[in-house]
Protein backbone atom coordinates (compact mmCIF):
# COMPACT_ATOMS: atom_id res chain seq x y z
CA UNK A 1 0.00 0.00 0.00
CA UNK A 2 1.14 3.60 -0.54
CA UNK A 3 2.31 5.89 2.22
CA UNK A 4 3.12 9.54 2.58
CA UNK A 5 4.82 11.79 5.12
CA UNK A 6 3.86 14.66 7.38
CA UNK A 7 7.03 15.93 8.97
CA UNK A 8 8.75 12.92 10.52
CA UNK A 9 5.63 10.74 10.45
CA UNK A 10 4.86 8.25 7.70
CA UNK A 11 1.15 7.64 7.11
CA UNK A 12 -0.09 4.44 5.47
CA UNK A 13 -3.19 4.59 3.29
CA UNK A 14 -5.12 2.64 0.65
CA UNK A 15 -7.52 3.64 -2.11
CA UNK A 16 -10.54 2.04 -3.82
CA UNK A 17 -12.44 3.02 -6.94
CA UNK A 18 -11.88 5.57 -9.67
CA UNK A 19 -9.98 8.81 -9.21
CA UNK A 20 -12.58 10.42 -11.46
CA UNK A 21 -15.21 10.07 -8.72
CA UNK A 22 -15.74 12.34 -5.69
CA UNK A 23 -13.31 11.45 -2.91
CA UNK A 24 -14.26 10.10 0.52
CA UNK A 25 -11.50 9.79 3.11
CA UNK A 26 -12.21 7.55 6.13
CA UNK A 27 -10.46 8.19 9.46
CA UNK A 28 -10.29 5.49 12.12
CA UNK A 29 -11.00 5.67 15.82
CA UNK A 30 -8.83 5.25 18.89
CA UNK A 31 -6.26 2.49 18.44
CA UNK A 32 -7.97 1.34 15.26
CA UNK A 33 -6.36 0.62 11.93
CA UNK A 34 -7.65 1.34 8.45
CA UNK A 35 -9.10 -2.18 8.61
CA UNK A 36 -11.89 -0.70 10.74
CA UNK A 37 -13.33 0.33 7.36
CA UNK A 38 -13.64 -3.17 5.87
CA UNK A 39 -13.27 -3.79 2.15
CA UNK A 40 -17.01 -4.55 2.00
CA UNK A 41 -17.87 -1.12 3.39
CA UNK A 42 -15.38 0.63 1.12
CA UNK A 43 -16.92 -1.29 -1.77
CA UNK A 44 -20.40 -0.12 -0.80
CA UNK A 45 -19.19 3.48 -1.04
CA UNK A 46 -17.44 2.78 -4.35
CA UNK A 47 -20.71 1.36 -5.67
CA UNK A 48 -22.34 4.66 -4.74
CA UNK A 49 -19.81 6.58 -6.83
CA UNK A 50 -17.04 7.45 -4.40
CA UNK A 51 -13.26 7.25 -4.69
CA UNK A 52 -12.51 5.88 -1.22
CA UNK A 53 -9.36 6.45 0.82
CA UNK A 54 -8.77 4.73 4.16
CA UNK A 55 -5.73 5.48 6.33
CA UNK A 56 -3.84 4.46 9.43
CA UNK A 57 -3.56 7.31 11.91
CA UNK A 58 -0.17 7.95 13.45
CA UNK A 59 0.34 5.53 16.35
CA UNK A 60 -1.82 2.91 14.62
CA UNK A 61 -1.39 0.17 12.06
CA UNK A 62 1.55 0.59 9.70
CA UNK A 63 1.90 4.35 10.16
CA UNK A 64 4.74 5.74 12.27
CA UNK A 65 4.80 5.23 16.01
CA UNK A 66 5.57 8.21 18.24
CA UNK A 67 7.45 8.34 21.53
CA UNK A 68 5.90 9.13 24.90
CA UNK A 69 7.44 12.62 24.86
CA UNK A 70 6.06 13.51 21.41
CA UNK A 71 3.26 15.90 22.38
CA UNK A 72 1.23 15.91 19.20
CA UNK A 73 -2.43 16.95 19.10
CA UNK A 74 -5.51 16.43 16.98
CA UNK A 75 -4.27 19.34 14.86
CA UNK A 76 -1.27 17.25 13.82
CA UNK A 77 -3.50 14.26 13.09
CA UNK A 78 -5.74 16.44 10.92
CA UNK A 79 -2.65 17.58 9.04
CA UNK A 80 -1.87 13.89 8.46
CA UNK A 81 -5.23 13.63 6.69
CA UNK A 82 -4.31 16.49 4.38
CA UNK A 83 -0.93 14.88 3.70
CA UNK A 84 -2.80 11.77 2.49
CA UNK A 85 -5.08 13.88 0.30
CA UNK A 86 -2.00 15.53 -1.19
CA UNK A 87 -0.35 12.17 -1.86
CA UNK A 88 -3.53 10.84 -3.46
CA UNK A 89 -3.74 14.01 -5.58
CA UNK A 90 -7.17 14.85 -4.20
CA UNK A 91 -8.05 18.52 -3.90
CA UNK A 92 -11.03 18.09 -1.60
CA UNK A 93 -12.97 15.20 -0.10
CA UNK A 94 -15.87 14.21 2.06
CA UNK A 95 -14.00 13.78 5.35
CA UNK A 96 -15.53 10.99 7.44
CA UNK A 97 -14.40 9.83 10.86
CA UNK A 98 -15.65 7.46 13.54
CA UNK A 99 -15.16 8.15 17.27
CA UNK A 100 -11.68 9.70 17.64
CA UNK A 101 -11.71 9.74 13.85
CA UNK A 102 -14.74 12.01 14.07
CA UNK A 103 -12.73 14.40 16.22
CA UNK A 104 -9.92 14.37 13.64
CA UNK A 105 -12.45 14.91 10.85
CA UNK A 106 -13.89 17.90 12.71
CA UNK A 107 -10.44 19.43 13.15
CA UNK A 108 -9.65 18.78 9.49
CA UNK A 109 -12.74 20.74 8.49
CA UNK A 110 -11.87 23.54 10.92
CA UNK A 111 -8.21 23.83 9.88
CA UNK A 112 -8.59 22.97 6.21
CA UNK A 113 -12.10 23.95 5.03
CA UNK A 114 -10.85 24.31 1.45
CA UNK A 115 -9.93 20.61 1.46
CA UNK A 116 -13.20 19.51 3.11
CA UNK A 117 -16.04 19.09 0.64
CA UNK A 118 -18.25 17.88 3.51
CA UNK A 119 -17.81 16.63 7.08
CA UNK A 120 -19.21 13.36 8.43
CA UNK A 121 -18.73 12.92 12.20
CA UNK A 122 -19.86 9.52 13.49
CA UNK A 123 -20.31 8.65 17.21
CA UNK A 124 -17.98 11.46 18.24
CA UNK A 125 -18.10 14.60 20.39
CA UNK A 126 -16.89 18.19 20.75
CA UNK A 127 -14.20 17.96 23.42
CA UNK A 128 -16.38 19.75 25.97
CA UNK A 129 -16.23 18.10 29.42
CA UNK A 130 -19.99 18.06 29.99
CA UNK A 131 -21.12 16.18 26.87
CA UNK A 132 -20.31 12.82 25.29
CA UNK A 133 -18.95 11.26 28.45
CA UNK A 134 -18.53 7.47 28.77
CA UNK A 135 -20.01 5.37 31.50
CA UNK A 136 -17.54 4.50 34.27
CA UNK A 137 -17.33 0.89 33.07
CA UNK A 138 -16.57 1.99 29.53
CA UNK A 139 -13.91 4.46 30.66
CA UNK A 140 -12.22 1.85 32.85
CA UNK A 141 -11.76 -0.64 30.04
CA UNK A 142 -10.87 2.05 27.50
CA UNK A 143 -7.95 3.22 29.64
CA UNK A 144 -6.82 -0.20 30.86
CA UNK A 145 -3.11 -0.96 30.25
CA UNK A 146 -2.34 -3.14 27.23
CA UNK A 147 -1.97 -6.88 27.60
CA UNK A 148 1.38 -8.63 27.09
CA UNK A 149 0.32 -10.85 24.19
CA UNK A 150 -1.91 -10.65 21.14
CA UNK A 151 -4.07 -13.51 22.39
CA UNK A 152 -4.69 -11.80 25.75
CA UNK A 153 -5.33 -8.46 24.06
CA UNK A 154 -7.94 -9.98 21.76
CA UNK A 155 -9.85 -11.39 24.71
CA UNK A 156 -9.58 -8.09 26.59
CA UNK A 157 -10.90 -6.25 23.55
CA UNK A 158 -13.81 -8.65 23.16
CA UNK A 159 -14.69 -8.15 26.83
CA UNK A 160 -14.48 -4.38 26.42
CA UNK A 161 -16.60 -4.39 23.28
CA UNK A 162 -19.42 -6.13 25.13
CA UNK A 163 -19.73 -2.99 27.29
CA UNK A 164 -20.29 -0.59 24.39
CA UNK A 165 -22.00 -2.80 21.81
CA UNK A 166 -25.64 -3.50 21.16
CA UNK A 167 -25.94 -7.08 22.47
CA UNK A 168 -28.24 -7.98 19.57
CA UNK A 169 -25.55 -6.90 17.11
CA UNK A 170 -22.56 -8.26 19.03
CA UNK A 171 -20.75 -11.07 17.18
CA UNK A 172 -17.75 -12.22 19.23
CA UNK A 173 -16.48 -14.71 16.65
CA UNK A 174 -16.35 -12.14 13.87
CA UNK A 175 -14.85 -9.61 16.27
CA UNK A 176 -12.10 -12.04 17.29
CA UNK A 177 -11.31 -12.73 13.64
CA UNK A 178 -11.15 -9.03 12.84
CA UNK A 179 -8.98 -8.30 15.86
CA UNK A 180 -6.60 -11.13 14.98
CA UNK A 181 -6.24 -9.80 11.42
CA UNK A 182 -5.46 -6.35 12.76
CA UNK A 183 -2.92 -7.48 15.35
CA UNK A 184 -1.20 -9.75 12.86
CA UNK A 185 -0.85 -6.73 10.58
CA UNK A 186 0.46 -4.48 13.37
CA UNK A 187 0.82 -4.97 17.12
CA UNK A 188 1.58 -1.67 18.85
CA UNK A 189 0.79 -1.98 22.59
CA UNK A 190 0.64 1.37 24.34
CA UNK A 191 0.17 3.45 21.20
CA UNK A 192 -3.54 4.07 21.86
CA UNK A 193 -2.67 5.80 25.13
CA UNK A 194 -0.61 8.32 23.19
CA UNK A 195 -3.66 8.99 21.03
CA UNK A 196 -5.74 9.50 24.19
CA UNK A 197 -3.11 11.98 25.36
CA UNK A 198 -3.41 13.82 22.05
CA UNK A 199 -7.17 14.12 22.55
CA UNK A 200 -6.78 15.33 26.12
CA UNK A 201 -4.27 18.04 25.27
CA UNK A 202 -6.31 19.32 22.31
CA UNK A 203 -9.12 21.05 24.22
CA UNK A 204 -12.64 21.57 22.90
CA UNK A 205 -13.69 22.51 19.38
CA UNK A 206 -16.63 24.78 20.22
CA UNK A 207 -15.34 27.91 18.51
CA UNK A 208 -14.14 26.09 15.41
CA UNK A 209 -17.30 24.03 14.98
CA UNK A 210 -19.46 27.13 15.45
CA UNK A 211 -17.68 28.84 12.56
CA UNK A 212 -17.85 25.92 10.13
CA UNK A 213 -19.68 26.52 6.87
CA UNK A 214 -18.97 23.19 5.16
CA UNK A 215 -21.94 20.82 4.76
CA UNK A 216 -22.03 18.38 7.67
CA UNK A 217 -23.65 15.12 8.71
CA UNK A 218 -23.48 14.01 12.35
CA UNK A 219 -24.35 10.38 13.15
CA UNK A 220 -24.71 8.85 16.60
CA UNK A 221 -26.05 5.71 18.19
CA UNK A 222 -28.87 5.94 20.65
CA UNK A 223 -27.34 3.20 22.84
CA UNK A 224 -23.75 4.53 22.90
CA UNK A 225 -22.10 4.04 26.30
CA UNK A 226 -18.56 5.03 25.26
CA UNK A 227 -19.42 8.44 23.81
CA UNK A 228 -22.82 9.46 25.11
CA UNK A 229 -25.29 10.61 22.42
CA UNK A 230 -25.16 14.09 23.93
CA UNK A 231 -21.78 14.42 22.22
CA UNK A 232 -23.26 13.91 18.78
CA UNK A 233 -26.25 16.11 19.48
CA UNK A 234 -23.99 18.92 20.67
CA UNK A 235 -21.75 18.56 17.60
CA UNK A 236 -24.77 18.97 15.32
CA UNK A 237 -26.03 21.89 17.40
CA UNK A 238 -22.75 23.79 17.01
CA UNK A 239 -22.41 23.29 13.24
CA UNK A 240 -24.81 25.50 11.36
CA UNK A 241 -27.32 23.54 9.23
CA UNK A 242 -25.75 20.17 10.13
CA UNK A 243 -27.91 17.12 9.54
CA UNK A 244 -28.24 14.89 12.62
CA UNK A 245 -28.92 11.18 12.18
CA UNK A 246 -29.62 9.23 15.36
CA UNK A 247 -29.54 5.45 14.81
CA UNK A 248 -31.50 4.20 17.80
CA UNK A 249 -30.17 0.61 17.74
CA UNK A 250 -26.51 1.54 17.35
CA UNK A 251 -24.16 1.76 20.30
CA UNK A 252 -20.41 2.39 19.90
CA UNK A 253 -20.25 -0.36 17.31
CA UNK A 254 -19.81 0.56 13.65
CA UNK A 255 -20.85 -2.88 12.44
CA UNK A 256 -22.61 -4.00 9.23
CA UNK A 257 -26.07 -3.47 10.71
CA UNK A 258 -25.33 0.27 10.85
CA UNK A 259 -23.73 0.61 7.43
CA UNK A 260 -26.78 0.92 5.14
CA UNK A 261 -28.18 3.97 6.95
CA UNK A 262 -24.76 5.63 7.04
CA UNK A 263 -23.95 4.88 3.39
CA UNK A 264 -27.32 6.25 2.33
CA UNK A 265 -26.95 9.42 4.39
CA UNK A 266 -23.38 10.06 3.23
CA UNK A 267 -24.37 9.50 -0.39
CA UNK A 268 -27.27 11.93 -0.07
CA UNK A 269 -24.99 14.53 1.52
CA UNK A 270 -22.45 14.14 -1.27
CA UNK A 271 -25.13 14.35 -3.95
CA UNK A 272 -26.20 17.72 -2.58
CA UNK A 273 -22.61 18.84 -2.17
CA UNK A 274 -21.15 17.79 -5.51
CA UNK A 275 -24.14 18.79 -7.63
| Chain-centre distance for alpha carbon 160 | 18
How much is the average pLDDT of 249-260? 96
Element (H, E) at 54: strand 51-55
68 pLDDT band (50/70/90 cuts)? confident
Rounded Cα gap, residues 267 and 96, in angstroms: 12
Report the 10 Å Cβ neighbour count for 73. 16
Q: Is the pLDDT of residue 17 over 90?
A: yes
Predicted pLDDT at 22: 96
Predicted pLDDT at 275: 61
Q: Is the pLDDT of residue 16 over 80?
A: yes
How much is the average pLDDT of 94-116? 98
Q: Is the pLDDT of residue 168 over 90?
A: yes
Beta bridge partners of 94: 24, 118
One DSSP character per residue, 158-197 reads HHHHHHTS-TTT--HHHHHHHHHHHHHH---TTHHHHHHH
Q: Is the pLDDT of residue 143 over 70?
A: yes
Element (H, E) at 246: strand 243-247
* Choice among 115-124, 136-145, 258-267 with the minimum mean pLDDT: 136-145
Q: Is the pLDDT of residue 39 over 80?
A: yes
Indicate the domain borders of the chain: 3-132+191-274
Q: Is the pLDDT of residue 263 over 80?
A: yes
Predicted pLDDT at 8: 94
How much is the average pLDDT of 49-58? 98
How much is the average pLDDT of 204-209? 98
Predicted pLDDT at 76: 98
The CATH classification number of 3-132+191-274 equals: 3.40.50.1820
273 pLDDT band (50/70/90 cuts)? confident
Span 211-248, pLDDT tens digits: 999 999 999 999 999 999 999 999 999 999 999 999 99
Amino acid sequence: MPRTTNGTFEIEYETFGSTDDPALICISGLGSQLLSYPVELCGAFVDRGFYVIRMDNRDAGLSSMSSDDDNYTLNDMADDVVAVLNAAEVHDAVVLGVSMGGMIAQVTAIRHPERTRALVSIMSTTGEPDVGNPTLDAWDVLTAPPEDSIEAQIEADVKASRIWSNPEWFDPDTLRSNLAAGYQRAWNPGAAQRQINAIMRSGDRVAGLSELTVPALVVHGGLDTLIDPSGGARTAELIGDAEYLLIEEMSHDFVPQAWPAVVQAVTALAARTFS
